[in-house]
Chain A
Amino acid sequence: DGGITQSPKYLFRKEGQNVTLSCEQNLNHDAMYWYRQDPGQGLRLIYYSQIVNDFQKGDIAEGYSVSREKKESFPLTVTSAQKNPTAFYLCASSTRQENEQFFGPGTRLTVL
């Protein structure tokens, strides 16, 4: 469980502000992912990265941006263009050879 971490655990944002969620892993995984989870719903893919300096849009990328400058890190920025950002955000990682994804503890973002 300690292999993938997210910070902060709780985050409050005013409307119109950009915020960045941190995701770090020490599992030596090549692939990393960001999901959004809304109450009573499943996980929806925002962005994913199979390798350093490369990433692809998932199903709900609008209003979000990412970077992958280091293998260990995959930060997610929630921009002011995201109209309904209040949600639980989960980061995950996996090797390129195996399908199993390991999840971080999540960040709960609330827009005030």
Chain B
Amino acid sequence: GENVEQHPSTLSVQEGDSAVIKCTYSDSASNYFPWYKQELGKRPQLIIDIRSNVGEKKDQRIAVTLNKTAKHFSLHITETQPEDSAVYFCAATPKAAGNKLTFGGGTRVLVKP
């Protein structure tokens, strides 16, 4: 089955700086890669996703890049703000698995004012 590794597990950045979180996956058939944000005590919410036919996707201050050859994808947050502080999860799903997601272990991001 699919295995997703996520790094770093914690990330502290100064407000205004950029944050980068990296994930690697094992199943070359995976074709959908979402990123979820989970604030303390709340439900995970999708913030951006990318499919395997695209190398990069942007949405305002967040972007995701995908390298299919190396089987890794990254989340980039620019101009970080205190409200970006949360736990971020990457995930992957092989096409054959329907909509079943395999999640990474999460990254706790702290944005210091």
- Number of B interface residues at 8 Å Cβ cutoff, please give it: 23
Q: Closest CB-CB distance, A28 to chain B, in whole Å?
A: 15
Closest beta carbon of chain A to B100's beta carbon, Å: 6
| Interface contact A40-B106, CB-CB below 8 Å | yes
Residue of B nearest to A95 (CB): B99
Number of A-B contacts (CB under 8 A): 56
Q: B: which residues have CB within 8 A of A? A: 1, 6, 9, 32, 34, 42-46, 49, 89, 93, 98-106, 108
B103 interface neighbour in A31, A42, A100, Cβ under 8 Å = A42
Query: DSSP majority for the A interface?
Result: loop
Contact yes or no, A45 B106, CB < 8 A? no
**Bound CA span A69–B105, Å:** 32
Given contacts A41-B106, A43-B89, A90-B44, A101 and B6 within 8 Å (CB-CB): no
